[in-house]
A and B are shown apart, each in its own frame.
Chain A
Amino acid sequence: MHLTEEDLQAIWLTLKLASTVTLLLLVIATPLAWWLGRTSSKFKAPIAALFSLPLILPPTVLGFYLLLAMGPNGWVGQLTQSLGIGLLPFTFWGLVVASIVYSLPFAVYPIQNAVEQLGDRPMEVAATLGAGPLDRFFNVALPLLKPGIFSAAVLTFAHTVGEFGIVLMIGGNIPNETRVIAVQMYDHVEALEYVEAHGLAALMLAFSFIVLLLLYGLRHKRNVPHGAMQ
């Protein structure tokens, strides 16, 4: 299969975007999911509902509103300008911010589920054994939450690789900056270059299958009970 320079650029950019978004989202989503999973605050339901809203709007429409918000007259745009960052649309970091909004529920829910299943008991036991709050979180809770965090990472990564409507809207199709593989494939399809589109699609599916296979394989090994290892 023949890949053009532009195809390769798009593939590299997509991997960079998906990795950046996944790492940042895990940092953002874990404390949020921790809070949602343990709180009995009356704000829990409204906040959970709020973070699910990105799932409702069609991605291109969500992208359009992000374009308005991040533009010179939008509140995000005015904030970023006053901070000296400039405007976000048509930049790599604009895509990162938009993808974080879009994929947030995919990162939060698996971790929140894990937190809810964990219950209070392990933390209470650790506390009676004299562990401080941070110690408890990092050494007791986090290892137990690993499967949830793992699912969150896989879903976020896959969702970002396959994301299209939003990047199309706020990206502006700039090589090496915002032209990700989904946009590149779409260009091929719209230009009736179906052979090139098939090639990229096949490559993307094969690559993603291998990555997911490796990840799930890794997870399965880790989940093997200690007794069985001996």
Chain B
Amino acid sequence: MSIANALKIGFASVVLMSSSMVSAEVIKVAVASNFTHPIKEIAKNFEQDTQNKVELSFGSSGKFYAQIANGAPYEVFLSADQAKPKRLADEGMAIADTQFTYAEGQLVLWSKDPQKVDPLGKVLDEDSFNRLALANPKLAPYGLAALQTLETLELVDKTRTKWVKGVNIAQTYQYVDTLNADIGFVALSQITENHKITQGSAWIVPDEFYLPIKQDAIIVKGAERNATAQAFLDYLRSNSAQKIIQSYGYKIE
């Protein structure tokens, strides 16, 4: 083999390698904890369909905000609210025109006890529960929705002494799940699988009792020209992804 041929082969293999790298991109996605289950399923499908790889990190939106504002290497941020993606965009740390609502959360009053919560949520007005768990309204969108619901029902003052506040909706769920709180406001998605509530008793709070819990996605600064990140957001909007999102107890727009 001549030197020229060897060079040709070497060059070709470099081209091949780099082209295969283009077709198998890795993107890092920061995901609000409440969306853990649906995004795992969606990411798996996306990986199968496109040969790209999605690395998911789960955590609170507040922490992700702080990390991304300080240059964390995520390409996509799926927040639990609209405020944090917007603030990142305002600060130039995310791309404003990529922000959209990928899911809408539904609030539910839940107990592990199959008899505890009646279909109209009247249990809130009774003295039959020890503690009422809710996420911290200052920090978590589901906590704010819980507070708005109690305000709608004019039960804030009556129930306040029984509140225990989780730092996020996952911890609030644990308070009820471990029976330390008889009842609690959690996300419908936490107790739903395949469109069904898996255990206990629940009251799905009517939409008009609280402002919509819109969860927004956004592309992070530095990934504005990343085709895989854009493809992933498009995939999130596709019918098949939206079906998965609905099956976990979220509404879609």
**Residues of chain A having any CB pair with chain B under 8 Å:** 64, 67-68, 70-73, 87, 89-90, 168-169, 172-174, 183, 186-187, 189-192
Contact A174 B179 (CB under 8 A): no
Which residues of chain B have C-beta atoms less than 8 A from A187's C-beta? 136, 138-139, 167
A71/B179 contact (C-beta < 8 A), A168-B167, A169-B171, A190-B167 known? yes
Which residues of chain B have C-beta atoms less than 8 A from A189's C-beta? 62, 66
Interface residues on B, range: 20 to 34
What are 24 inter-chain pairs, A to B, with CB distance below 8 A? A67-B178, A68-B178, A70-B180, A72-B179, A73-B178, A87-B130, A90-B180, A168-B167, A172-B163, A172-B165, A173-B136, A173-B165, A174-B164, A183-B167, A187-B136, A187-B138, A189-B66, A190-B60, A190-B63, A191-B62, A191-B138, A192-B62, A192-B65, A192-B84
Which residues of chain A have C-beta atoms less than 8 A from B179's C-beta? 71-73
Alpha-carbon separation in the docked complex, A87 to B175 (Å): 13
Shortest 10 CB-CB distances between A and B: which pairs?
A172-B164, A190-B62, A173-B165, A190-B139, A71-B180, A71-B178, A72-B179, A89-B180, A90-B164, A191-B138
Which residues of chain B have C-beta atoms less than 8 A from A71's C-beta? 178-180
Which residues of chain B have C-beta atoms less than 8 A from A183's C-beta? 167
- Name the distance in Å between B171's Cβ and chain A's nearest Cβ: 7
Which residues of chain B have C-beta atoms less than 8 A from A90's C-beta? 131, 164, 180
A67/B167 contact (C-beta < 8 A), A173-B136, A187-B138, A187-B139 known? no
Number of A-B contacts (CB under 8 A): 60
Which residues of chain A have C-beta atoms less than 8 A from B174's C-beta? 64, 67, 169
Which residues of chain B have C-beta atoms less than 8 A from A64's C-beta? 174
**Residues of chain B having any CB pair with chain A under 8 Å:** 60, 62-63, 65-66, 84, 87, 130-131, 133, 136, 138-139, 163-167, 171, 174-175, 178-180
Contact B163 A174 (CB under 8 A): yes
Contact A191 B139 (CB under 8 A): yes
Question: Closest residue to B135 on the A side, CB-wise?
Answer: A173
Question: Closest residue to B63 on the A side, CB-wise?
Answer: A190
Which residues of chain B have C-beta atoms less than 8 A from A172's C-beta? 131, 133, 163-166, 175
Which residues of chain B have C-beta atoms less than 8 A from A73's C-beta? 178-179
Alpha-carbon separation in the docked complex, A190 to B65 (Å): 9
Which residues of chain A have C-beta atoms less than 8 A from B63's C-beta? 190
Which residues of chain B have C-beta atoms less than 8 A from A186's C-beta? 167
Which residues of chain B have C-beta atoms less than 8 A from A173's C-beta? 136, 164-167
Counting chain A CB atoms within 10 Å of each CB, the highest count among B130, B139, B163, B174 belongs to: B139
Alpha-carbon separation in the docked complex, A73 to B180 (Å): 9
- Name the distance in Å between B107's Cβ and chain A's nearest Cβ: 19
Which residues of chain B have C-beta atoms less than 8 A from A67's C-beta? 174-175, 178, 180
Alpha-carbon separation in the docked complex, A90 to B179 (Å): 13
Alpha-carbon separation in the docked complex, A215 to B62 (Å): 37
Question: Closest residue to B65 on the A side, CB-wise?
Answer: A192
Question: Closest residue to A179 on the B side, CB-wise?
Answer: B165
Which residues of chain A have C-beta atoms less than 8 A from B175's C-beta? 67, 172
Alpha-carbon separation in the docked complex, A200 to B250 (Å): 38
- Name the distance in Å between A144's Cβ and chain B's nearest Cβ: 45
Alpha-carbon separation in the docked complex, A190 to B166 (Å): 13
Which residues of chain A have C-beta atoms less than 8 A from B87's C-beta? 192
- Name the distance in Å between A125's Cβ and chain B's nearest Cβ: 54
Alpha-carbon separation in the docked complex, A103 to B166 (Å): 24
Contact A87 B164 (CB under 8 A): no
- Name the distance in Å between A68's Cβ and chain B's nearest Cβ: 5
Alpha-carbon separation in the docked complex, A155 to B15 (Å): 60
Which residues of chain B have C-beta atoms less than 8 A from A174's C-beta? 163-165
Alpha-carbon separation in the docked complex, A73 to B44 (Å): 37
Which residues of chain A have C-beta atoms less than 8 A from B65's C-beta? 192
